[in-house]
Amino acid sequence: MTGPTGDVAPLKVLIVDDEEPARAILRRHLEALPGVRVAGECGDGFEAVRAATALSPDVVFLDIEMPKLDGFEVLELLDRSIAPVFVTAYDEHAVRAFEVAAVDYVLKPFAAERIALAVDRARARRAAGTSVSPEGLKAAVRPAATPLARIVVRDGSRVHVIPADRLDAAEAQDDYVALKTEGRTYLKQQTLTSLAAALDPARFVRVHRSHLLRLDALARLEPLGAGSHVAVLADGSRVPVSREGYARLREKLG
Amino acid sequence: MHPILAHRGRLLPYLAACAPLIAILTALFARPGALFLGEAIALAVPLTLAYAFMGLSAWYPCRQFPLNRSRLLPLVLTHAAAAGLLSATWVGFAALLAGALGLLPVFTGLQARFGTQAIALFASGVLLYLLAAALNYVLLALEAASEAERREAELAILAREAELAVLKAQIRPHFLFNSLNSIASLAATDPPRAEQMCVRLGEFLRRSLALGEKKSISVGEEIELSRAYLAVEALRYGSRLEVEEDLDERGQRCLVPPLLLQPLVENAVRHGIATRVEGGTLRVGVACGAGRLRILIENPLDPEGPARPGGGRGLANVRQRLAARYGEDALFAAKRLADRYLVVISVPAELPA
């Protein structure tokens, strides 16, 4: 990206905040910096994911509490090459922000110099070629000890939100998990193990190395010989159950 | 453990109070035709001391059968049995003591002479038991009174803590920081609006701080505070935040604990209106009739939006303070419907004198 001495491609920035005055001051400080171009502004989480897909910015300045998706959920759906900078008045989120290896974390209200520093850090990160760590992201997208309440999935520039209590089953498929909900299937780049760890263990059971299901969605179990079974869900779909998975299931069902 | 034995400072005064009993018992033994004075003293001192400790055991039947909450027959039977048992033990102990003392040359013949005193001693034992039971009932009553006092003080502290928590939560740092950020933004682009926002924020803070001292304020004052707050939020959220009020005049004059509405209005904005891209209308209703004050707060929300932390705390605090002030007479209902949130409060209408 770096051209001959001094000639650096402008840093493309996306601003995401649901309050208009907050976006305005951020834009003013950013546009005053040399080599920075504000590519767009968004007022909610869905719009942010769409704009990031369309504009592929280098840096996104992200508020945390917003309509549709919160800042952490947006980050989960963004391309890993985009450097996130959180901008918020909520400093209790700071620890999580650093766990996701955000470039920076700026507290409102902020000074112009603070924004300049965040931009410098983002440039340094881009030069070094490091990106958000997926492991850190997974740890941070929800507060510790709280089961996942909803799963966000990106399909091109569209975002789907699946409430955890409507996720019927999930299946590992290479680097993805296929999420089954209300007769439809969505693909998300995640491992089944990390998804299983985030879901409420009282309601979801890993019934097979590459399958998990929600207990409430289970209609009946059919034996398949040699200790293995098949689970039939309320919507009629069938999920293989291994010998170990059957034991776990029996334990949960009491 | 018995309260007299549990506190070292109480044992000596208790034993000292038993001293007159030595004199009484001596006089009983030294009646004409009974024992010699020396014998009477030699028996009375150890017997009184022994009974001082034995009498403490009346504590257990007394605790088991409180005077005001026990049926008469079991109470009398239990104490009669305890008195008989204790006195018989005491007389037995006295007989052994008299036998032992009788071996000494000075007290020759004491054992035989004591035999004539056994019945009088048993009767004294029963009377002393009644005295001990009375003393134990007094101790129990004192203990219950100090326990009630302690519990009352604890409740007062809890109520005060709930008040302080709401005052502290009142000026939420998030709200302040976000408002300051908006002012910083408007300062360059729209100075008159920045100025307006400073004034409104100042008004809100001044009103909030002034409320801390009061036990009651009128609903009207509470509404004024909410308006100052909403005016600041309106500058942040722009056209996304609309407010509709439906207030009756009598309702506004009613007295309520301060900061009853404010946390609910803040919740309605933060967990409701702010979760919607298009915002929405916050409705506040106040009505007074049939001796009741009714308050209603309603806001739309995005049923599929991300949950924001901290909403339950404000509701719990309001519920707690209503219960502290009105007890069973307060009705508080918070309900999440498909796409909106509804809070209803009904309390006895309290109009200023």
CATH of the domain at A217: 2.40.50.1020
Q: Are A22 and B308 in contact (CB < 8 Å)? A: no
Q: Does the residue A226 lie in any domain?
A: yes
Does the structure's ipTM exceed the value 0.85? no
Domain termination site, one of A140, A171, A204: A140
Rounded percentage of chain B residues whose pLDDT exceeds 90: 39
Please indicate, yes or no, whether the overall pTM of this predicted structure exceeds 0.80: no
Tokens encoding B328: 């069973």
* Whether residue A89 is found in the same domain as residue A166: no
Domain termination site, one of A96, A117, A140: A140
CATH top-level class of B171-348: alpha beta
* Whether residue A229 is found in the same domain as residue A197: yes
The β-bridge relationship of strands A11-16 and A59-62 is: parallel
CA distance A102 to A132: 7
Q: Does the residue A4 lie in any domain?
A: no
Tens digit of each residue's pLDDT (9 = 90 or more) over A64-103: 889 999 888 898 898 888 999 999 887 766 666 666 667 8
The helix (H) or strand (E) run that includes residue B243 is: strand B241-247
Q: Does the residue A39 lie in any domain?
A: yes
| Min Cα–Cα distance to chain B from A254, Å | 32
Size of interface A-B (CB pairs under 8 A): 71
For an interface test with B, which of A15, A17, A18, A49 has the most B Cβ atoms less than 10 Å from its Cβ? A18
| Min Cα–Cα distance to chain B from A252, Å | 28
Q: Looking at chain A, how many residues does it have?
A: 254
Out of A68, A107, A109, the one facing B277 most closely (by C-beta) is: A68
A160 φ, ψ (degrees, to nearest 5): -115, 140
Query: How many structural domains does chain A have?
Result: 2
Domain termination site, one of A108, A140, A172: A140
CA distance B349 to B251: 8
Please state the rounded mean pLDDT for residues B242-262.
Answer: 93
Domain boundaries, chain B: 3-155, 171-348
* Whether residue A226 is found in the same domain as residue A247: yes
Out of A20, A25, A67, the one facing B276 most closely (by C-beta) is: A67
Q: Identify the CA nearest to A76 among candidates A173, A226, A216, A189.
A: A189
Q: Does the residue A24 lie in any domain?
A: yes
Q: Does the residue A5 lie in any domain?
A: no
Out of A24, A65, A150, the one facing B189 most closely (by C-beta) is: A24
Res. B295: pLDDT tops 70: yes
Determine the structural domain holding residue A67 and report its residue range. 11-140
CATH of the domain at A132: 3.40.50.2300
**Mean of per-residue pLDDT scores for chain B:** 88
B315-319 — which CB contacts under 8 Å span 24+ positions? B315/B263, B315/B264, B315/B267, B315/B343, B317/B162, B317/B165, B317/B166, B317/B169, B317/B263, B318/B166, B318/B260, B318/B263, B318/B264, B318/B345
Q: Does the residue A158 lie in any domain?
A: yes
Nearest CA in chain A to B186: A21
Q: Are B90 and B117 in contact (CB under 8 A)?
A: no
Using an 8 Å CB-CB cutoff, list chain A residues near B201. Answer: none
Tens digit of each residue's pLDDT (9 = 90 or more) over B128-156: 899 888 988 888 888 889 988 888 888 87
Nearest CA in chain A to B233: A19
Nearest CA in chain B to A164: B304
* Whether residue A119 is found in the same domain as residue A154: no
Q: Does the residue A228 lie in any domain?
A: yes
Q: Does the residue A43 lie in any domain?
A: yes
Please state the rounded mean pLDDT for residues B2-18.
Answer: 81
pLDDT of amino acid B1: 66
For residues B269 and A135, the model is more confident at B269
End-to-end CA distance of chain A: 59
